[in-house]
Homo-oligomer: A and B are copies of this chain.
Amino acid sequence: MVHGESGDGIGFAVVGADHLHLFSIVGGLVGGGARPVAHVESGDLIAGYASWQAGSEARTFDDVLADPDIDLVVTVGVPDERGAAAIAALEAGKPVLSAKPGVTTRDALHRIRELVADRPGRPWTVLFTERFENRATRRAIEMARAGAVGRIVHVTGTGPHTLAAESRPDWFFDPARSGGILVDLASHQADQFLALCGSAEPGGGVEVAAARVGNVACPDHPGMQDVGSMTLLAPGVVGEHRVDLLSPRGLATWGDVRLMVVGTDGTLEVRANVDVAGADGAEHLIVTDHEGVRRVDVSGDEASWADDLLADLADGGERLMTQDHVLTVCDLTLRAREVAVGWGTA
Given A153-B214, A229-B238, A278-B279, 5 additional A-B pairs, CB 8 A: A154-B242, A229-B240, A238-B344, A248-B265, A248-B266
A236 near B276 with CB under 8 A, answer no
Q: List 29 A-B contacts (CB under 8 A).
A: A151-B217, A153-B216, A153-B227, A153-B246, A154-B229, A154-B244, A156-B158, A156-B242, A212-B238, A216-B236, A216-B264, A231-B231, A236-B344, A238-B242, A238-B343, A240-B242, A242-B262, A246-B262, A248-B266, A248-B290, A250-B288, A250-B289, A251-B288, A275-B278, A276-B286, A276-B288, A277-B279, A277-B295, A278-B279
Contact with B along A293-309 (1 / 0, CB 8 A): 11100000000000000
- The residues of B that contact A293 with a CB separation of less than 8 Å are 250-252, 276-277
Does A202 sit within 8 A of B, measured CB to CB? no
- Bound Cα distance from A209 to B341, whole angstroms: 12
Q: What residues of chain A have their CB less than 8 Å away from a CB belonging to chain B?
A: 149-151, 153-154, 156, 158, 160, 207, 209-210, 212, 214, 216-217, 227, 229, 231, 233-238, 240, 242, 244, 246, 248-252, 256, 262-267, 269, 275-279, 286, 288-295, 343-346
Majority SS of interface residues in chain A? strand
- Bound Cα distance from A238 to B240, whole angstroms: 11
User: Looking across the interface, which residue of chain B has its beta carbon closest to that of A207?
Assistant: B346
- The residues of B that contact A248 with a CB separation of less than 8 Å are 149, 265-267, 288-290
- The residues of B that contact A251 with a CB separation of less than 8 Å are 288, 293
How many whole Å from A113's CB to the nearest CB in chain B? 24
- Bound Cα distance from A278 to B265, whole angstroms: 21
How many whole Å from A88's CB to the nearest CB in chain B? 37
- Bound Cα distance from A227 to B294, whole angstroms: 24
Most buried by B among A240, A246, A292: A246
- Bound Cα distance from A150 to B290, whole angstroms: 39
B209 near A346 with CB under 8 A, answer yes
B344 near A250 with CB under 8 A, answer no
How many whole Å from A5's CB to the nearest CB in chain B? 41
